[in-house]
Chains A and B, each alone.
Chain A
């Protein structure tokens, strides 16, 4: 993908996001405000809801207390906008003091790491290796008082990074300690659940190797009570761990029926020689070198209508996602997920859900990213228990 292609694709996808008249007025009126001109970086947010402002105050207070006690992996769980909630006793599966590395200025310690077969969460402490200095990272809130302290040593990187096969990190956080920083990261490994994990956590040039066993997990197979209207569901598993629920759905898009998109034999469409789709828009998705083709010619091929520019009525996406509904019918928070090709046309989506106790029956909600399209009741049967 070239720069222009991505820019065009994003502009196309976000074309509904434009400067509104009210924002334009805010900009022009705000620029005329002397206070804005005097303090452009410090003006209050205009649209922060009161609740959010209160939450921020409470969070800052919590941060201050927690900083004194050193936040652990499980402390960071509840600090998200859509928090995971670890099980009681989950701390038994948090592995501690996994190793350290140092250089002249800095000593890093992999203080805690929790791995439940899928999710990886760790806290790495960075502390000065000598007296009289303190560590600075530009992604952290610092008070004027803190910034005025002498002995500032700027870290070469903004985040710690975990490096192991198939790891994909999503959530990061940094908390200041007295003279150093605690880095938190949360992510997931692609593919199957693993019994163990090894890799390194890196901060700049320093790295700490680790090898850990997974926390126990209980796997359930969910059997849908009916077929989906939109996709062929091949398999649903729900894995309970002390840290989260993981909902994995393997599915295949249903073949388009004849009425879904009627090819006009006289119309001109565009396609690439080896492309999967045909398009109404010659530049759809930023593609280049598309060739015109009549509808009549297209009917002799197995090309499919582009989900972008020839979307049929109703939901149409190659990437579906899923969530569980709680007993009140509300979706359990989704903390992230992944989708993508697995094998041919079979796709797999793994969603990280708020942890709950196992149940005999669940409702799985099918979403096309932006909206729920159907709810499917499922029966849950325990199939596998993985012990550390």
Chain B
């Protein structure tokens, strides 16, 4: 059992609400890109904020709050992916779990391409391109050598470039 000092809920609850408002949507989308399932992504976000709440006293401010929350969420998503019944990946049909019938929503071209990446590549793409982390931070977070992160990013970029050709890349 992990023991934490009881937080001062009255003073921290407004912070938590602010954190959810500020970071919730981004974390939810990040978790969806990791897990390919909206319900699981919501669970992951809930666990992320629960863990952040519990560990807030240990947050030393060495990174930004966003990076700190991203690291917690990435860890939780990895744990979820490890579970035996979630390990298999599926293709872009994961998007069907989203309510994409809304005519105002654009075609999920980039999302689809990212979801189609193998997990190890998708992970670094989500953290680097979507969450804006540097390769060094990702290497520390994932306990990987930095060249491995760079190599995975390069491979992912190649796949994405092929996949998104004539959609986004010709518009640069």
**Interface of A toward B, CB cutoff 8 Å:** 1, 3, 5-7, 9-20, 23-24, 26-28, 30-32, 36-41, 43, 45-48, 52, 55-56, 59-60, 63, 79-82, 138-141, 156-159, 168-174, 272, 274-277, 285-288, 307-309, 311, 313, 316-319, 321, 334-338, 340-341, 369-371
Contacts and interface: CB of A to CB of B under 8 A. Distances in A.
Given A17-B32, A31-B16, A41-B47, 20 more contacts: A1-B161, A9-B168, A11-B26, A11-B29, A14-B108, A19-B20, A28-B20, A30-B49, A37-B7, A79-B88, A82-B90, A139-B78, A169-B118, A170-B118, A171-B89, A173-B88, A285-B106, A311-B106, A318-B109, A369-B112
B73 to A, nearest CB: 12
B115 to A, nearest CB: 10
Contacts of A140: 82
B146 to A, nearest CB: 13
Interface residues of B, number: 91
A1 B169 contact: yes
Nearest to A58: B85
Interface in B50-82: 50-51, 53-55, 76, 78-79, 81-82
Contacts of B128: 3
Contact of B4 (A12, A38, A157, A172): A38
Contacts of A341: 165-166
Contacts of B46: 23, 26-27, 30, 46
Main secondary structure, interface of B, reads helix
Contacts of A337: 91-92
Given A17-B32, A17-B98, A36 B106 contact: no
Interface string B26-46: 101100110000111111011
Interface of B: 1-4, 6-7, 9, 13, 16-17, 20, 24-26, 28-29, 32-33, 38-43, 45-47, 49-51, 53-55, 76, 78-79, 81-85, 87-93, 95-96, 98-103, 105-112, 114, 116, 118-120, 125, 128-130, 132, 143, 145, 148, 159-172
Given A275-B170, A307-B107, A141 B82 contact: yes
